[in-house]
Structures are given as C-alpha cells and as structure tokens.
Amino acid sequence: METTMQSPMTPWPYRIEKVIRETHDTFSLNVVPKDSSRGMTFNPGQFNMLYAFGVGEVPISISGPKPGEQGMIHTIRDVGVVTGALHQLKKDQTVGLRGPFGSAWPIEESKGYDIVIMAGGIGLAPLRPALYALLDQRDKFGEIVLLYGVRKPEDLLFTKEFETWRGKYGVQVKLTVDTADREWRGNVGVVNTLIQRADFDPINTVAMICGPEVMMRFAVSELKRQEVPENQIFITMERNMKCAVGFCGHCQFGPAFICKDGPIFRYDKVKQFFGIREI
Amino acid sequence: MNKSVTIDREGLNQLIIVLGGMGFQVVGPTVRDEAIVYEKLGSIKDLPEGFTDEQDGGIYRLKRRQDQSLFGYAVGPHSWKKFLHPPERRLWQADSEGSDFEIKPEKLDTTKFAFIGVRSCEMHAIAIQDKVFINDKFVDPVYQVRRENAFFVAVNCGQAGGTCFCVSMNTGPKVEAGFDLALTEVLENDRHYFVVEVGSKKGEACVKQMTHQQAQKEEIAQAENVVKETAGQMGRSLNTTDIKGLLYENLEHPRWDDIAERCLSCANCTMVCPTCFCSTVEDVTDITGTHAERWQKWDSCFTMDFTYLHGGEVRASTKSRYRQWLTHKLASWQDQFGSSGCVGCGRCITWCPPGIDFTEEVPKIRDSETQSLKMS
C-alpha cells in the first residue's frame, strides 16, 4: 500500500506577486499561493519557511500586508546562500512556502494599554503587521510608540510609512542610528536610550521587542527600570531552525522550541534562560 | 499474566515465520561486527544464541555464554528508532520547468515492521518519541504510519547490562504496556522455554498459529523470578528527585567544565540514544540543476553547525553542548513532553569513548548543592 500524505515538511508553491527593494541589502517578496485551497491568513509575528529551488529553506517572518490586502510579504536581508538565491527571484517566479508558524504578538490582549514597539535592524519586519493591526483599531489603544534603531541611516526600513504612522495615527516614531552620516539629523546611539524620550505610562504599557539578543537585553532592563511589568514585555528569540514544526530540535532555547512555542515569548516566562551564554 | 502461554524455541521460530507470512518485515537482534544489532531476521538462527555482552563506561564486548539463551544480553548500539525514524530519508523532490518548479511529495513508505526482542526501556523510548512525532502540534506521517503498523514482540530482560539503570527511571526491566506479545526467556536445567504474555488481539491471532501450551503456575512464577532477579542486578541508578530544578539552577556549575575536558563532542551518545530525535535537512540537486531533493538526516546537538546563526554557533563550546544534551534529556524534556527523555538504557555511557557516565555526573552537581547548603 502506498499513499501520499501532505507532510508538514513539504512546501507549497507560491507565486511572487511583487518584489520590493527596501534598502541596499534588504528586499521584500509578496507571495500568493498557486494552489487556491491554501490560505494567506497569518497572525502578526508569525513566520514562514521559504524555499529557493535547489538551494534551501530559511525562516522568514511575515512583514505584511496591511489588513485586507492580498498576499504575504516577507522582508529579507541578503546575507546568506538561500537569502541570496531568493534575492535573484523576479515577479511571477515560484518559491516554496511552509507556514505560517509560531506565536503571535498579543494584539487583542493589549487593548486598553499603551504600546511600546522596539525594533533593531530587520527586527522591524515582524513588528510591522503588529503595527498595522494596532493602527487598524487605533482607538482601542493608548499611546503607541515605535523606537527603532539601525546601524546606519541607509539601513532604515519602511521609511515611507513613518509619516503616515506619525501624522495619521499619532504614533511616536523615534529613530536612532549607531553610526550617522552627514545628512543624519536624528539620534545617534543604541535604541534603549530612546525609551526615556518617549511618552507612555509604564505600568499600563505592553512592550513588543524584536532585534539582536544584546539589544533586547538592554531594552528589557531599561523597560524594567521604567517599571514596565515583566509580564507585559514580549521578546522574540532566534535560533537555527530546520523544520519549524518541532521535529528537528535545532531551535531549542531552554525548555522552549522557538518554532512552535515562540518566536515571540512573554519575557517573564523565559527570563530564567534569557541572557545565559551559549544556552 | 492472565493470558500467558508457553512456547519453546520452535514456537519462537514459528512466530518469526508467522509474522513474515502476515506481511511484516521481521527485525530483531543479531550479531554483526562484534556487536548485537537490530536487523532483518529469517529465523531464530539469526538471533545471538549463546551470546552476552560486557558493558561499562566506554566498553562493549561480546562474550560467550555457557547456555543456549537467545536473549541473554542487554541492549546494543542500535535502537528501534532506526526503523521508525530512519537515519536518512528523502522528504520530497522538485523539478524545475523554466522559471517555475513543481514539488513532488514523497510516497509514504508503509513497510510493516515486526520488532522482536524489544526491551522495556525501549518500549518507553518509543512512547517518548511518539510524543515528539505524533502527539504534539504537528504529525510526522512517516513515523506515524510505521508506528501504527508495527508489531511488538517485547522481551523481559533476563539480566541487567553493565550500564543499565532502568529501575531508577521506572522504565523496566519488566515490560508493562504497548506490546503485542511479551516474552520471558526461561532456562532451567535442560529446559529452554518462553512464557508469553499476550497484549493485543493481533498478538492473540499470532499465538493461535504457533505451537503453544497454556502457561502453568510454576512457569509463570519462574518467569517472574527472572525479571525480579534482573531488577536486583542494576549496577547503576540515578536519583531523579527534582532533577529539573537541580539542572536548571546549575547551568553555570563548574562540573560542566570538568565534563567538557573529557567530552569529545563526538555525538555517539545522541546516535545511540533511543529517544534523541534531532535531525537536519540537506538540499541536493542533480548535475543539470533541474532536479532537486530534500533529505532529512539524524543530527546531533554535539555537532559544530547545529546552532549556526549569523556567522557563528550559539553553542560553540563543548561544555555548552554537553550541558544542552543532558539538561534537555533530564530536565527540559519534562517541560516539553511531560516526561524524562531518559529511559535508563545506559547506551550513552557504554558508547561514550571516554566513558562519561551521567549517573556519576549528576550526583556531583547534586552533592555540591547539598554541600553549599550545609555551608550557608
């Protein structure tokens, strides 16, 4: 007896609807399923496994679109073999896709709170759908703060949207860079220094953070200093990942599998392991 | 043992043939390369008759027994996971057509395995892997179909191996559940027979096709005695009292450095462990570049690139890898799957080249804690 069964390890074909150049090394792919039975629904913060033919598969968080728009957008930094191969792809070409996987930002649970979003580098990508969801129901939330740090001004993502977020929705968008160039008139320094300049009520704030571990460590300690409760701080973890479904064991972080228990964790639930070297 | 029967060596031979006739690929212990491994069996002639094994930290030797026992040894380097969760398997193939490509899912291989000689610790190990591949959020269809099709002929251990500690892990030596048939081998004077406990309808159907007798009280008592004696022979034990808290609180304990000086990071412990399930994937293409395949292969948390991320390994040191392995096995496994990841089979001790023995290492951590409590 031989049967075929769709394994969670088998990708589905998706068509590239649009390629968007974001920065010098970062691009976005908006994809739609070739098989109409496959959905495009996801929760803000979730990720997909994207496969480039013959090269390999990588976990990429979903960075859009806005609610009600077509497709799933993946914002990718060209840093490796697979992301490099994905970078070569053009409109109407095919990628393999498995997902969406993983936990989501607590949008519903955060109603009535002030929101502080902190992003480092490409960490803004998985936070953008959270912002879209928050702005979609803007009146349900108090202050919304976006603190965003990158290495150099040219690394800033989604810059065209900052004015809309500021102007139309009253988001406090604060930017900083590690190294400025001559044209940069904004802040210079690490992103956690922006916390003190933002206006929010710490006790009544939900913080959502995505960036390098070291950046998150400083961000959490500054938020705690401001008395944001630990169980209102959400961080994202990243580890090597092969399967995204809890089989391969690569993404373990203490007792958590980042693929199925994360990538978004409530800080108090993982703090025992957060920051331990080589954990 | 209500439904117990007895069979002799010929009865056991019939069982192998009957299972083959029922469409099972019969696999079990046999001698190859000076070790007892699990491979295809044609008859009881393939079983390691008259062999036993000497096991200790970093030591495994086959030895001759003074009798014709067929199961007179403990577990070897293989475990049943190589059949249920194969070391290498193709996940799918893809073919490109111009700028497009098509993914071809793998046909599900529904080979039916009959496992002969599954020990209690191994039954527990399979139940533990079930939680990973079937009973969690996602299902591995290959594992699931092989698992559901499998026939289990368990064997109660007639002697403890040199590195066994199943009694302290509550995983043996008596097989309690999950089997179709469970054998206890009895050798008394010049009689050699097996008391067979029937655990399922499938098992019962098999027994009907074999020469068997209703088990007598004395025979059952003899069989129970065999297991009791084995339980009394355990040379090792592990105190698992609050072991999760103990390890979580000692992630920076100096003992990890001490172990790291001996650990070769060779991954043997993970390969022989019947519960270790980690895998990696490999993408291959043919020379034309139009055909691609993705393969899954066993992997180990001891390998160099297991935690590769952004140009480096998260766990670069041997210390951190050993800590991950042991803490996962004994502590975080409990959070993940509701049980320990260790069944006390002792393989990781036997097959560790420098003979690192965690039944010795964990007490070192525990004792130092007690010590420091006394000091404070």
Return the CA Rg of chain B: 22
Contact B103 A3 (CB under 8 A): no
Question: Mean pLDDT over residues A60-80, rounded?
Answer: 94
CA distance B232 to chain A (A): 34
Asked if domains A12-100 and A108-236 share a fold, the reply is no
ipTM above 0.95, yes or no: no
Contacts of A243 in chain B (CB under 8 A): 279, 281
Contact by Cβ (8 Å): B358, B348: yes
Contact B281 A3 (CB under 8 A): no
Domain ranges within chain A, ordered by starting residue: 12-100, 108-236
> pLDDT of B174-195, one tens digit each?
999 999 999 999 998 889 999 9
- CA atoms within 13 A of residue B175's CA, in its CB half-sphere: 31
Q: Output the average pLDDT for chain B.
A: 95
- Residue of chain A nearest B293, judged by CA positions: A54
Question: Mean pLDDT over residues B190-210, rounded?
Answer: 96
- Please name the member of B99, B110, B309 whose beta carbon is closest to the beta carbon of A93: B99
Least confident range from A160-169, B306-315, B338-347, B355-364: namely: B306-315
Number of H helices, E strands in chain B: 14, 17
- Please name the member of A96, A239, A260 whose beta carbon is closest to the beta carbon of B307: A239
Q: What is the pLDDT of residue A238?
A: 95
Domain ranges within chain B, ordered by starting residue: 5-232, 243-375
- Which two structure tokens, joined as six digits, stand for B40? 């295809």
Reported as a pLDDT band with limits 50, 70 and 90, residue A145 is: very high
Contact by Cβ (8 Å): A38, A12: yes
- Please name the member of B107, B310, B324 whose beta carbon is closest to the beta carbon of A2: B107
CA dist B165 and B142 (Å) reads: 31
DSSP character for B332?
I
- Please name the member of A8, A11, A242 whose beta carbon is closest to the beta carbon of B280: A242
Contact B99 A2 (CB under 8 A): no
Three-class DSSP labels, A191-219: HHHHHHHCCCCHHHEEEEEECCHHHHHHH
- Residue of chain A nearest B284, judged by CA positions: A54
Question: Mean pLDDT over residues A69-79, rounded?
Answer: 96
- Whether the bond between A263 and the residue before it is cis, its omega within 30 degrees of 0, is yes
Contact by Cβ (8 Å): B279, A242: yes
What angle (nearest 5°) sits at the alpha carbon of residue B193, between those of residues B187 and B199? 120
Contacts of B289 in chain A (CB under 8 A): 54
Contact A96 B103 (CB under 8 A): yes
On whether the A12-100 domain is CATH 2.40.30.10, my answer is yes
Coil vs helix vs strand at B152: strand
> pLDDT of A13-46, one tens digit each?
999 999 999 999 999 999 999 988 888 899 999 9
> pLDDT of B48-82, one tens digit each?
999 999 999 999 999 999 999 999 999 999 999 99
Q: What is the pLDDT of residue A5?
A: 59
**pTM of the shown model:** 0.95
Dihedral (Cα; A61, A66, A69, A72), 10-degree rounding: 0
> pLDDT of B295-350, one tens digit each?
999 999 999 999 999 879 999 999 999 999 999 999 999 999 999 999 999 999 99
> pLDDT of B235-292, one tens digit each?
899 999 999 999 999 999 999 999 999 999 999 999 999 999 999 999 999 999 999 9
> pLDDT of B97-123, one tens digit each?
888 999 999 998 889 999 999 999 999
Reported as a pLDDT band with limits 50, 70 and 90, residue A1 is: very low
User: Given CB atoms, is A34 within the 8 Å cutoff of chain B?
Assistant: no
On whether the A108-236 domain is CATH 3.40.50.80, my answer is yes
